[in-house]
Amino acid sequence: MKTTVKPWALLALLLLLASTCVQAADEDEQTYGAGRRRRRRSRRRSTAGAPPNIMVPITFLNSSVEKGAVCMDGTPAAYHLDPGSGAGNSSWIINLEGGGWCNNARTCKFRTRSRHGSSDFMERQIAFTGIMSANSADNPDFYNWNRVKIRYCDSASFAGDTFDKGTGLYFRGQRIWEEAVQHLLSIGMASAGQVLLAGCSAGGLAAILHCDQFGAFFAGRNTTVKCLADAGLFLDVVDISGGRSLRSYYADIVYMQGVAKNLPPTCTDHLDATSCFFPQNIIDGIKTPIFLLNSAYDVWQIEESLAPNKADPSGAWRACKFNRSACNASQIKFLQDFREQMVASVKSFSGSKSNGLFINSCFSHCQSELPATWNGSPAIQNKGIAKSVGDWYFGRAEVKAIDCPYPCDNTCRHII
């Protein structure tokens, strides 16, 4: 008997195969980007309805290619600059873009087909929102500063410096960082009266790693230099299986991308390089004033450090890590223990009058560039994030805010 394949059935089969291929590609990437679809939605919400005048064009650092300051595929590094105005003409924010990491040749090669590995795929215009906004109502303290976003395409928090002959991949994050800052100094930042180095997620880690290096660029100048790390406080903790998933992952990054030589010497003089890629081992040695903005229930760390798929083969944590209301009592206890470790990690850091702190109890990740969280909620003791960062930067008040444990804070904007 001859079987006839209906056109609709063939179409359904093709769609299923296409879906499977896309899923396989996502799984194959494995660049510690779980929840990326949710965060893409979050970014879309953050820029929805944005006025056209905050779309900022890209600039390529073509002149730095000969110095090796290139993305993983050898394309030029890039940045976006929205010039300051009025009283903000001599003040600068340098924001280091985040976007995960990669830890082996296969996953890094995958990223060269995206904006995180090649400037060929970078948006030619991006929206500046939150701390990067030019709107005085949304961003009262920094709206008229020169605001710069340095694009992220090295996959090691701007810290690697090597070349893989076997794959042809460039790991030149440190060179991108140095060349970008030198270029910005040459076009006016050298005469800045105030500067702030900021970053979110992998960019937040980069802001911590490079904070004192940034300060050194202004040595001998009468410039106020400070740093802000948003969602960059990644902890070296035990996961739900008793292993250390993130430590293993970071070890691969540090080794493969030649990161060790660019880590803070105040840490590497007594700890191994992998340990010095973790902020908890760096922050106490940073001399430049720094502000840590973080959620005590950072959703990226819950999904990828505490309960990654490899540590949860039975899927017991699958519901919890994407929906806080689905967590059982023992899972909540595990998350509360994580919060306690985060609070303990900043105890010495918070003792410095020059440092600032805002650790809330929201299930979130990156809060400085999302308008709803930057100048809205959450709040700790009736003070939001924008006001807290501004008070700290300008010395209006000391800010050492640590929220009470979940679920006490009803001002949160949870993303899971």
Question: What are the residue numbers of the active site?
Answer: 201, 298, 365
Q: How many CB atoms lie within 10 A of CB 174?
A: 26
Q: What is the DSSP letter of 114?
A: S
Query: Residues with Cβ < 8 Å from 14, sequence gap 6 or more?
Result: none
Question: What is the rounded distance in angstroms from the CA atom of residue 126 to the CA atom of residue 57?
Answer: 7
188, 143 Cβ separation under 8 angstroms: no
163, 171 Cβ separation under 8 angstroms: yes
Q: How many CB atoms lie within 10 A of CB 102?
A: 30
Q: Count of residues for the chain?
A: 416
What are the b/e assignments for 130-166, b being 16+ CB within 10 Å? bbbbbbeebbebbbbbbbbbbbbbbbbbbbbbbebee
Question: Which pair of structure tokens corresponds to residue 289?
Answer: 């004033």
Question: Which pair of structure tokens corresponds to residue 214?
Answer: 């940034």
Question: Which pair of structure tokens corresponds to residue 369?
Answer: 């560039």
